[in-house]
Amino acid sequence: MQKPSILFTGIFGAFAISVGAMVLIPHTQLASLQPQVTWDEGANSPSDIYPHERSATGREVYVAEGCFYCHSQQVRDPQYGPDTERGWGSRRTVARDYIYEDVPLLGSQRLGPDFANFGWTAKVAQKDGSEKTVSMWRNEHEDDSKKPAARNERWIYQHLYNPRTLFSDSKCPSYRYLFETKEIGEKPSPNAVAHNAKFQIVPTHEAERLAQYLLSLDRSHELKEAPTAIKPKEAKK
């Protein structure tokens, strides 16, 4: 038999244990987490700080559109799965990677690929400029005919506007409403996803910020607690 007094004491006890173990203890531990600073003795100033405080980009668009229901932003240790083998990152991500994020968008589903390092994996192709270069890290098969040449801003717009034009059975939604139709001035904008003689479809400000956000995602920095687990494919050769 449960006396009401015992009942309520017990229920409160259950809550206390739950909140203590699952919330308060990790909170005391994580609250003190600071960025990793490498000190340059000679110049007597920090030579390297990670992570940097991010300036707000299109993160709100990413959240509002619920990209995180399909795209995770966490790279797991190789013992959990082939995240690094896929080239989603050079190492697992750790708590320190997220200290400046209001709500880290870790995600709980991977209907689409992980974005923890989207910008970083796309970088090589970008700087290089040559459309033939593929990103260094993505471990897509050489003969994969669908393998994109570059994952730069223009490619992202194409993908956002209609992923099915790039991958015929993609499940990624098309975000046509993040684009607008404008009259062409002198010549079509390089970012236009489509145009005819008079009109072009160009990304809105939101789409631009979203693309910037994706390209800013980079958690590749070497950390004490998470050493690089895998070397880039090209480097192996």
Partner 1 sequence: MNATPETTSAAQGDVTRSDHDVARRDLENVERALIDQSARGPVLTFFTTAIFWLLVSVVLGYIASKSLHAPGSVMGPEWLYRLLHLERASHYIFDHLTYGRVWPAYTTALVYGWCSLAGMGVATWLIGRLTRVSIKAPAVLQFGAWFWNAGVAVAVITILCGYNSGLEFFEMHRVARACLFIGYLFIGIWGLILFRYRRQSTPYISVWYLSAAFFLFPWFFGTTEVLTSMPVAGVMKNIVNAWYQNGLFNLWLGCIGIASAYYFIPKVINRPIYSYNLASIGFWSWIFLGGLTAMTRLSGGPVPAYLVTISIAASILMIIPISTLTLNFVRTMKGHTGLMASSTTLRFTFVGTIFFSLAAVLGVVSALRSVDSYTHFTAWTHGQMHMFTLGFFSMVMFGAIYYITPRLVGCEWLSRTFMKLHFFGTAYGAGTIIALFLFGGLATGFALNEPTADKMGFYNVSGIANAYMPVKTYIGYVLFGVAQIIFAFHFLLMRLRIGQPAGEPTLLATPGEGH
Binders of partner 1 in range 178-237 (CB under 8 A): none
The 8-class DSSP code of residue 98 comes to G
User: Residue 176 — φ and ψ, nearest 5°?
Assistant: -60, -30
Q: Would you say 79 and 45 are in contact if contact means Cβ atoms under 8 Å apart?
A: no
Q: Which is nearer to partner 1, 11 or 49 (CB)?
A: 11
Measured from the CB atom, the residue of 23 and 43 that comes closer to partner 1 is 23
Minimum distance of partner 1 from residue 78's CB (angstroms)? 10
Does position 177 interact with ligand HEC (CB under 6 A)? The reply is no
Stretch that binds partner 1, among 42-50, 91-99, 118-126, 196-204 (CB under 8 A): 91-99
Query: Which of 80, 47, 93, 35 minimizes the C-alpha distance to 227?
Result: 93
Residue 229, classed as helix, strand or coil, is: coil
Give whichever of 107 and 223 is closer to ligand HEC, judged by the CB atom. Answer: 107
Q: What is the C-alpha separation between 207 and 222, in angstroms, rounded? A: 31
| Residue 209 partner contact from ligand HEC, partner 1, none using kind-dependent CB cut-offs of 5 to 8 Å | none
Count CB-CB contacts under 10 A for residue 110. 14
For residues 76 and 222, is the Cβ–Cβ distance under 8 A? no
* 156, 214 contact by CB (below 8 A): yes
**Beta-carbon count within 10 A of 188 CB:** 16
CB of 47 to ligand HEC, least distance (A): 32
Which of the listed partners (ligand HEC, partner 1, none) does 8 bind, with a CB threshold of 5 to 8 Å by partner kind? partner 1
Q: What's the CA gap between 174 and 193, in Å, rounded?
A: 12
The least CB distance from residue 203 to ligand HEC, in Å, is 12
Binding mask 19-38 for ligand HEC (x = CB under 6 A): --------------------
49 in contact with partner 1 (CB under 8 A): no
Tokens 């709980």, residue located: 108
Q: Which amino acid is at 113?
A: P
Beta bridge partners of 56: none
Tell which one of 39, 48, 49, 95 touches partner 1 (CB under 8 A). 95
Q: Does 171 bind ligand HEC (CB under 6 A)?
A: yes
Assigned token pair, 21: 């173990």
Residue 111 in the binding site for partner 1 (CB under 8 A): yes
The residue count of the chain comes to: 237
Q: Is 92 in the site for partner 1 (CB under 8 A)?
A: yes
- The verdict on 63 binding ligand HEC (CB under 6 A) reads no
- Sites of contact with ligand HEC (CB under 6 A): 62, 65-67, 69-71, 111-113, 151, 156, 159, 163, 167, 170-173, 175, 210, 214
